[in-house]
Copies of this chain bind each other. A is one copy, B any other.
Amino acid sequence: MSDSLLAALSSLSIEPAARKVVSHTASDSQAAWSDALASVSAADKPQDYHLLKTLVFKPKTAKSETPLPVVVLTDDATQTNTSAIGAQLKLKDLRLAVPDLLKATLGATKDDVSPFNVTKENASKVRVLLDEDIVSSKVTYAVHALSASETVFMTGAGIQQYLESTQVQLDVVPFSSLKAPAPAAPAAKPEPKAKTVDAKIPEAELIGITVRKDLDFPEWYQQVLRKGDMLDYYDVSGCYILKPWSHFVWESIQRFFDGEIKKLGVQNCYFPMFVSSDVLEKEKDHIEGFAPEVAWVTRAGKSDLEKPVAIRPTSETVMYPYYARWIQSHRDLPLKLNQWNSVVRWEFKHPQPFLRTREFLWQEGHTAHLTQEEAAKEVLDILDLYRRVYNELLAIPVVPGIKSEKEKFAGGMYTTTVEGYVPTTGRGIQGGTSHCLGQNFSRMFDIAVQDPKATDETRGKPEGRLYVWQNSWGLSTRTIGVMVMVHGDDKGLVMPPRVASTQVVLVPCGLGVKVPQDVKDAVNDACKDTAAELNRHGIRAHADLRDNYNPGFKFNDWELRGVPVRLEIGPKDLANKVAISVRRDTGAKESLALDSITASIPKLLDTIHNDMYAKADAEFRDHRKVVTDWDMFTKTLNAKNHVIIPWCEEEACEDQIKDRSARTVSSEESQDERAPSMGAKSLCIPFDQGAYPAIDGRNCPQCGKPAKRWTMFGRSY
Contact = CB atoms under 8 A, between A and B. Distances in A.
A241 B301 contact: no
Q: How large is the interface on A (under 10, 10 to 19, 20 to 34, 35 or more residues)?
A: 35 or more
B298 A299 contact: yes
A294 B298 contact: no
A700 to B, nearest CB: 37
A259 interface: no
Contacts of A292: 301-302
B322 A241 contact: yes
Given A267-B244, A299-B295, A300-B294, A342 B232 contact: no
A337 B244 contact: yes
A56 to B, nearest CB: 30
B331 A546 contact: yes
A239 B272 contact: yes
A713 interface: no
B274 A548 contact: no
A309 B237 CA distance: 11
A275 interface: yes
A361 B270 contact: yes
Contacts of A341: 342
A251 B254 CA distance: 13
A26 interface: no
Interface string A225-269: 000000010111001111110011011000000000000000111
A294 B342 CA distance: 19
A300 B346 contact: yes
A236 B272 contact: yes
A337 B232 CA distance: 14
A153 B241 CA distance: 54
A311 B295 CA distance: 11
Contacts of A242: 269-271
Interface string A5-36: 00000000000000000000000000000000
Contacts of A501: 267
A148 to B, nearest CB: 17
A296 B299 CA distance: 5
A627 interface: no
A651 B331 CA distance: 59
A164 interface: no
A277 B325 CA distance: 40
A128 to B, nearest CB: 33
Contacts of A361: 270
A276 B236 contact: yes
A293 interface: yes
A80 to B, nearest CB: 25
The secondary-structure label for the interface of chain A is: mixed
A309 B247 CA distance: 24
Interface string A409-430: 0000000000000000000000
Interface string A158-194: 0000000000000000000000000000000000000
A362 to B, nearest CB: 12
A46 interface: no
A279 interface: yes
A247 B295 CA distance: 26
Which of A279, A297, A359: most chain B CB closer than 10 A? A297
A361 B342 CA distance: 12
Contacts of A239: 272, 274
B235 A321 contact: yes
A518 to B, nearest CB: 25
Interface in A341-371: 341-342, 344, 346, 348, 358-359, 361
A289 interface: no
A614 interface: no
Nearest to A299: B296
Contact of A295 (B38, B232, B243, B300): B300
A385 interface: no
A273 interface: yes
Interface string A276-314: 101100000000000111111111111100001101000
Nearest to A547: B331
A301 B297 contact: no
Contacts of A235: 276, 278-279, 321
Contacts of A300: 293-296, 346, 348
Which 5 A-B residue pairings sit nearest by Cβ, starting from the closest? A244-B267, A300-B346, A239-B272, A292-B301, A242-B270
Given A244-B269, A270-B342, 14 more contacts: A38-B325, A236-B274, A236-B275, A240-B272, A241-B270, A241-B322, A247-B270, A267-B501, A274-B358, A292-B302, A296-B299, A297-B311, A300-B346, A341-B342
22 contacts: A232-B326, A235-B279, A236-B274, A241-B322, A242-B269, A242-B271, A243-B269, A247-B269, A247-B270, A292-B301, A292-B302, A293-B300, A293-B301, A294-B300, A294-B301, A295-B300, A296-B300, A297-B297, A297-B298, A297-B311, A298-B299, A331-B548
